[in-house]
């Protein structure tokens, strides 16, 4: 990913936090096949962490992927930015966004590890479903036969926040005003991210 220095996320902790928050990713293998999957990061494993996830067994991508390098893309909030929001003219439309790219070696996991991964995934998003009676063990066993678990040992990671922080303060303030008037979910999410991170807000 091309990352000018002004847009680079320099903190490993922040990149890992981004992955925790925006865990639905694209897993791209060397044969240019891709799957869109929820992933869990264990940041305390390895140098940069280990990602855990699973394929549907019907998905052919997993068959030739064991012990190969993959690219994983995590996308944060993004939205169209109108040039009419800028004070300084002339200007052109652009797109503000944040993203993290991860490279690593993928390994298929055994049934026990895959079961633990599924429990951890449920624990993250809806822990009340872990109540034993809600998903009977027999049903879990049946479903587990339809998936293939994996882990990705991260070898490198990079993050980018292109949020207009390079523009003048008045132009940044114009973008905030423009996004604030939008009722589009993407614009609302982007503005919240910019305010939470205090980037590109003209302050």
Domains delineated in the chain? 5-193 (2.30.110.10)
133-151 confidence digits (pLDDT tens): 777 778 777 888 899 999 9
Of 88, 47, 182, nearest to 190 by C-alpha is: 182
CA distances to 27, 29, 65, 186 from 32, rounded to whole Å, are 10, 5, 11, 28
Residue 80 structure tokens: 């169209």
Q: Is 80 within 8 Å of 93 (Cβ atoms)?
A: yes
Calculate what percentage of the chain has a pLDDT beyond 90. 87
Residues contacting 164, CB < 8 A, separation 6+: 81, 94, 96, 171, 172, 175, 200
- Which residues lie across from 38 on neighbouring strands? 24
Give the Cα separation of 134 and 140 in Å (integer).
11
CA distances to 48, 61, 69, 125, 189 from 185, rounded to whole Å, are 32, 32, 34, 21, 6
Q: What is the pTM of this model?
A: 0.94
Secondary structure (DSSP) of 12-28: HHHHHHHHHHS-EEEEE
79-108 confidence digits (pLDDT tens): 999 999 999 999 999 999 999 999 999 999
Question: Lowest-pLDDT range, 67-76, 81-90, 126-135?
Answer: 126-135
Give the Cα separation of 44 and 108 in Å (integer).
20
Looking at the chain, the number of H-run helices and the number of E-run strands are: 5, 8
Question: Lowest-pLDDT range, 40-49, 137-146, 174-183, 193-202?
Answer: 137-146
Residue 132 predicted with pLDDT over 70: no
């Amino acid at each position: 990913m091309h990352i000018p220095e002004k847009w680079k996320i320099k903190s490993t902790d922040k990149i890992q936090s981004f992955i925790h928050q925006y865990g639905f990713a694209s897993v791209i293998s060397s044969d240019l096949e891709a799957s869109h999957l929820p992933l869990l990061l264990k940041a305390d494993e390895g140098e940069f962490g280990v990602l855990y996830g699973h394929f549907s067994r019907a998905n052919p991508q997993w068959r030739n992927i064991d012990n190969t390098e993959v690219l994983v893309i995590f996308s944060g909030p993004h939205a169209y930015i109108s040039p009419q929001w800028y004070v300084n003219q002339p200007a052109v439309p652009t797109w503000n966004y944040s993203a993290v790219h991860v490279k690593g070696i993928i390994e298929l996991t055994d049934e026990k590890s895959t079961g633990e991964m599924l429990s951890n995934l449920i624990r993250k998003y809806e822990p009340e479903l872990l109540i034993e009676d809600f998903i009977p063990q027999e049903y879990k066993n049946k479903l587990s036969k339809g998936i293939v678990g994996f882990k990705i040992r991260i070898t490198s990671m990079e993050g980018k926040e292109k949020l207009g922080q390079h523009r003048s303060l008045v132009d940044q303030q114009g973008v905030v005003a423009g996004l604030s008037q939008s009722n589009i979910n993407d614009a609302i999410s982007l503005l919240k991210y910019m305010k939470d991170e205090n980037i590109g807000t003209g302050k």
